[in-house]
Structure 1
Amino acid sequence: MKRRLWVQSAAAACIASPSFWARAQPGSAGKKIVLGQSAAFSGPASALGEKFKQGAMLQFDKANAHGGVGGRLIELKSLDDGYEPDRCAANTKAFIEQGVSALFGYIGTPTSLAALPLATAAKLPFIAPFTGAEALRTPFNRQVFHVRASYFDETAEIVKQLLAVGIKRIAVFHQNDSYGKAGLEGVTRALKPHDLAPTGLGTVERNTTAIEAAVASIMASKPDAIVQISAYKSCAAFIRAARKAGFGGTFYNVSFVGTQALAQELGADARGVVVSQVMPFPFTPVTILSGEYLAAGHAAQGDKFEPNYSSMEGYVAAKVLLEALHRGGQGSDALIQGLEAMHDFNAGGFFVDFNPQKHTGSKFVELTILQEDGRVRR
């Protein structure tokens, strides 16, 4: 598989060339392709929305600097929902009324689920939501396209790793909403074939760090490992409290936690915390895509650029959307057709595979471990 990645990755290099971006068509000057994004830009999950947008804008700014797509510039309209479903629904209604071309880069499961019926009714493409929840994948919805692997994929990899080293007493700390329940279901499904189930459960309410009851409940079950399905602030609070209560095992998190945000919250306490990832390693140029991302970030922000997984996801999502626009066109149906034409698309060592019956583009998952200095090790 690695050999295949490198053999085919050379094809992605041409996508980064100016000639690729400059494919302008006459008669469309002054017009824009407007995208709507509802995300958390305030509150305890704000780093996720901010970083995703920063990564996406590296792609969109570059495209616009070379004339946009078909002579049309890309405009990303972003509204803050604070990671709250009602606010997200209101933002989505506003985007629909404004006549945006597509909805892009929504952050989170409960918010994306609030937007989904609105996008479906309006027949708007709903592209690259930052969530791995199965409820957004099943049943199949023609409007929705996922660039990342699912939480079932991530939790299956986590459980596989734990069982491989003989750990069977696995507890789950999860957000008390659709996101947390999706992760819990993933862990439960992965354990079931081995006649196992979570040894203990604890919950936290969205956008809070009230984890005391969850710590007491989970510690009473005497787990050897704890899988966390929540955002970075509550997960960091839980880790500190559980260690203070005497837990000596390992913490595992799914990608939505926000890897760098979690590391920054924990400081030296981050050492040994495991996070599953659904995007390529963003800190060194281990793939053509990573090298392109790092170069774009440093060109835009200089020494202030701080690579991380959340902005890498925004970067990849925007690259996929731009490729679809080049392939299909700018109307809703044309954009969907462009996405569905991306069979085994090589983004530079990271592959996205869509077709008319398959809108989940990747199942890539790997595990990383945090170090006490905030670095991430594969």
Structure 2
Amino acid sequence: MKMLKKLTCLALVFTAALAHAENGVTDKEIVIGQFAVISGPAAQLGQRMQLGMQTYFNVVNAQGGIHGRSIKLITRDDGYEPDKAAAAVKALINEDKVFALAGSVGTPTGLAALPILTEAQVPLVGMFTGAQALREPFNRQVFHVRASYFDETERMVQHLTTLGVKKIAVFYQNDAYGKAGLEGVERALTKRQLKPVATGTVERNSVDVAKSLEAILKSEPEAVVQISAYKSSAAFFKQARAKGYGGQFFNVSFVGSKALADDLGDAGQGVVISQVVPFPYAGNSGVVRDYQQRMLEAGQKEFDFTSMEGYLTARVLVEGLRRAGRTLTRESLISGLESMHDVNLGGFTVNYSAKNHQGSNFTDLTIIGRGGKFMH
């Protein structure tokens, strides 16, 4: 009789555990979803973000996983279009049954996905965007790993004005991403009693920059801040130089640094790009040395800022999963991430709390040098 009672209790406990089991979690596996641009003009952003994450997940899996569970990454291509991003997120949650999301790419795509993942209460770690609209109002499901566009543009404007440059124009993508960057530049200039001397736009996934070029060059700016993806930014730069413009060019990190440098070739010398992750080409910090070693072990000889960000995103997610414990739920993952107070990953510090999911305010300025190589 006692044995029967014990078996009954165990059965009830097992049934309750099943009833509360999360999608995407088994005894052996944790399924993580990514919606990102894998095809089209901005494809390198999503591809490199995916590569950086997968590289670290492979390391973790080879070491036995998280509490005995390996990590499986499922990526759906959204083409950097909001409608496709919404569809991709729904498919990841409802069809692929992912446990959590990581490494999304883009502001308009992120904004389209936000209501869906929020309603489903699926955590998202590491959005490859610095838009304030994805940080305010605070969303408990979203954990950022990078600094904001406000942080990046403040760094750029501070640098330019310190050098005495005041005539600054803005070339931006005509969507939520571009407008977020424009707002950042305007805020930084207003702080110094200045405003853009001219602005010009380009449509997402387009390189039609002729009208913007004309409007901006007419104002004779000393510098142009570009808030767009690499194809359109490269097109604007090349056409401006062809018309004799000799001013400075600054880009935010989302541009896709390596892709831009590759596209510009030798002409890109002197172009400045703000960064939100440590310099991936020199082993000056533990996390960069680790990233380089793991990339080489994976047969990847080319380092870049985007895969570095993917790598850091995976590091942060894995740390949150470890802290969540063996009984893994989405709620325990959120608690695990929120317990990461000033966690140093080897030269890159992440700080979360129950009221702050910003993660990092790290910014840096880099310059494209000869042969498309980057310098501090």
TM-score between the two structures when normalised by the length of structure 2: 0.91
What SS class does the counterpart of residue 128 from structure 1 fall into?
A: strand
Q: Distance in 1 between matches of 2:120 and 2:322?
A: 23
Q: What are the superposed Cα offsets for residues 267-296 of structure 1, whole Å, 9 maximum, x if unpaired?
A: 011100000000001011110011000010
Deviation per residue, 1:114-173 (Å, 9 max, x gap): 000001000110110100000000000100100000000000000000000000000000
State, as a whole percentage, how many aligned pairs show the same letter.
52
Match of 2:82 among 80, 85, 92: 85
How far the C-alpha of 1:66 sits from its partner, in A, is 1.6
Q: Do the aligned residues in 2 keep the contact of 1:34 with 1:74 (CA within 8 Å)? A: yes
Match of 2:306 in 1: 310
Q: What is the match of residue 70 of structure 2?
A: 73
Partners of 2:57 and 2:241 in 1: CA distance: 43
Q: For 1:179 and 1:205, how far apart are their aligned partners in 2? A: 11
Match of 1:8 in 2: none
CA distance in 1, matches of 2:160, 2:146: 23
Match of 1:15 in 2: none
Partner of 2:235: 237
C-alpha displacement of 1:68: 1.0
Amino acid at match of 1:373: G
Alignment equivalent of 2:100, drawn from 102, 112, 122: 102
Change (3 A) 1:326 1:175: same
**Which consecutive residues of structure 2, in runs of 5 or more, have no partner in the other structure?**
1-24
Partner residue in 2 for 1:40: 37
Larger radius of gyration: 2
Q: Counterpart of 2:57 in 1: which secondary structure? A: helix
Deviation at 1:29, TM superposition (A): 7.4
SS at match of 1:242: helix
Tell me which amino acid in the other structure corresponds to 2:60. A
Taking only aligned residues, the RMSD between alpha carbons, in angstroms, comes to 1.0
Aligned partners of 2:191 and 2:322: how far apart in 1?
44
- Counterpart mapping for 1:196-211 below 5 A: 196-211=194-209
Structure 1 CA distance for aligned equivalents of residues 350 and 45 of structure 2: 22
C-alpha distance in 2 between matches for 1:33 and 1:331: 11
Secondary structure of 1:354 counterpart: coil
Q: How does 1:200-349 map to 2 (within 5 A)?
A: 200-301=198-299, 304-329=300-325, 330-349=328-347
- For 1:192, the equivalent position in structure 2 comes to 190
Distance 2:297 2:87 in 1: 36
What amino acid is the match of 1:227? V
* Partner residue in 2 for 1:18: none
In the aligned structure 1, how far is the partner of 2:124 from the partner of 2:54? 18
Using the alignment, how far apart are the partners of 1:190 and 1:268 within structure 2? 31
2:359 to 352, 358, 361: 361
- 1:29, 1:71 within 8 Å by CA — same for their partners in 2? no
Q: Paired residue for 1:24?
A: none
* Residues 289-344 of structure 1: CA deviation (Å, up to 9, x unaligned): 1100001011110xx52000000000000000000000014311011001000000
Deviation at 1:32, TM superposition (A): 1.4
Paired position in structure 2 for 1:21:
none
The structural deviation recorded for 1:256 is: 0.3
In 2, Cα distance between equivalents of 1:105 and 1:298: 21
Q: Which of 151, 154, 158 is residue 160 of structure 1 equivalent to?
A: 158
State how far apart, in whole Å, the 2-side matches of 1:245 and 1:148 are: 36
SS class of match (2:233): helix
Q: Deviations over 1:236-276 (max 9, x none)?
A: 00000111112111000000001101000000111000000
Name the counterpart of 2:138. Answer: 140
Q: Which residue identity does 2:319 align to in structure 1?
A: E
Q: Structure 2 CA distance, aligned partners of 1:193 and 1:69?
A: 46
The structural deviation recorded for 1:372 is: 3.0
Q: Size of the alignment, in residue pairs?
A: 349
Distance 1:88 1:280 in 2: 28
Give the whole-Å Cα distance in 2 for the aligned partners of 1:194 and 1:133.
Answer: 22
Q: Which runs of 5+ in 1 are unaligned?
A: 1-27
Within 2, Cα distance between the matches of 1:182 and 1:359?
19
